[in-house]
Amino acid sequence: MKSGTKLAAGAFETMTYSVLQPVQRRRRSRSKRPLVLLAVAALVAAGSLAATQHWAFAHGTPHHKQATAMLTPKPVSARTLERLRAVASEQQVAAGAPFAAGTRLLLPAAPRLEHAGLGPITARAAILVDANTGAVLWAKRAHQRRPIASTTKIMTGLLALEHLPPNKVVRVNPLVTRVALNREGLRARERVPVWKLMYGLLLFSGNDDALELAIATAGSKGAFLRLMNEKAVELGLHDTHYTSPSGVVDRGNYSSAHDLAALARYAMAIPRFRAITRTHIAHIKWARPTYAKTYVNKNLLLGTYRGADGVKTGWTTIAGHCLVVSARRGGKSLIAVVLHAPDPYGDARRLLNFGFANS
């Protein structure tokens, strides 16, 4: 056993290589073939780029760097973007303006149906107009200047549509929450799109909607009143003057049946205005904590008189009941206005029936 052990040990010691002896690995020489392939690919790419630039130069195509610079979008500030949207909206409205500048909205000739038989009209002033031609069909004290209550909002809505993009979001001015009734209940500093305020203005007849749209349009109530009176002059409304964007103030805020009919003819030719005023009920989603609002149009002819499609009601103690209505049947379109009327809807129905039967 000892000799075997010694032999084993000697054999172990005299072995040239052992698992415990470090082995020096020989380095393999790396092939230069991949480097050659990369060099060839680079040469091919350079040749292709040179050929492309040569072709572009020969055919008048901009240099690659120039083209890249031209195609790189430049950042636009939110204020600039909002201004561009507003300008675009105004241009669209201007391009689709219902009447050319200087057009007489109502023809100056005597009423065509002045001597035709018509039942009693209780209103102190009234008019019936062919909306297609602008011809006056029947009139009663048409140019008498009278307070017009919330029919003032026809002008307010018209100017808001002409100056504000419908999707523009406005922050409610705290002054708006303190206007006299009627109010829909706008909350101070809440953010509301313009189109939602338009439904509150023309269906619910909110005085807070009127003031907020005025401030959003012109920056202040006073500036908006100047816009209102300038627009009245532009449209040839010589019996009209505004001191309120809502009509809640009677003093100095007046118009005539003639001018309201002319204004209604202009406004109803604008698709957005017409779409709102012909709406009977509108269900509008709202931000928390309100979540939703339902506006019911105060024009009781909608849904009860065939063809009725607008436009605005109004009432104050001094102005009495005021009503501007529009109706269309077939190819005929009529506008009727009654001011300080004890029976506004009866008067409006009689005028419209008379017009459809005789025009």
Query: Which residues are catalytic, by number?
Result: 150, 153, 205
- Joined together, the tokens standing for residue 233 give 């002059």
Output the CA angle 259-263-265, nearest 5 degrees: 115
DSSP track, 296-339: E-S-TTTTTSTTEEEEEEEEETTTEEEEEEEEEETTEEEEEEEE
Q: How far apart are CA 202 and CA 198, in angstroms?
A: 6
Three-class secondary structure of residue 300 per DSSP = coil
Alpha-carbon distance of 215 to 206, in angstroms, equals 15
Going by C-alpha positions, the residue among 104, 101, 149, 102 that lies closest to residue 337 is 149
**Structure tokens belonging to residue 87:** 């300008």
Residue 131 C-alpha from the chain's centroid: 25
4 CB contacts (<8 Å, ≥6 apart)?
none
Residues paired with 338 in a beta bridge: 126, 323
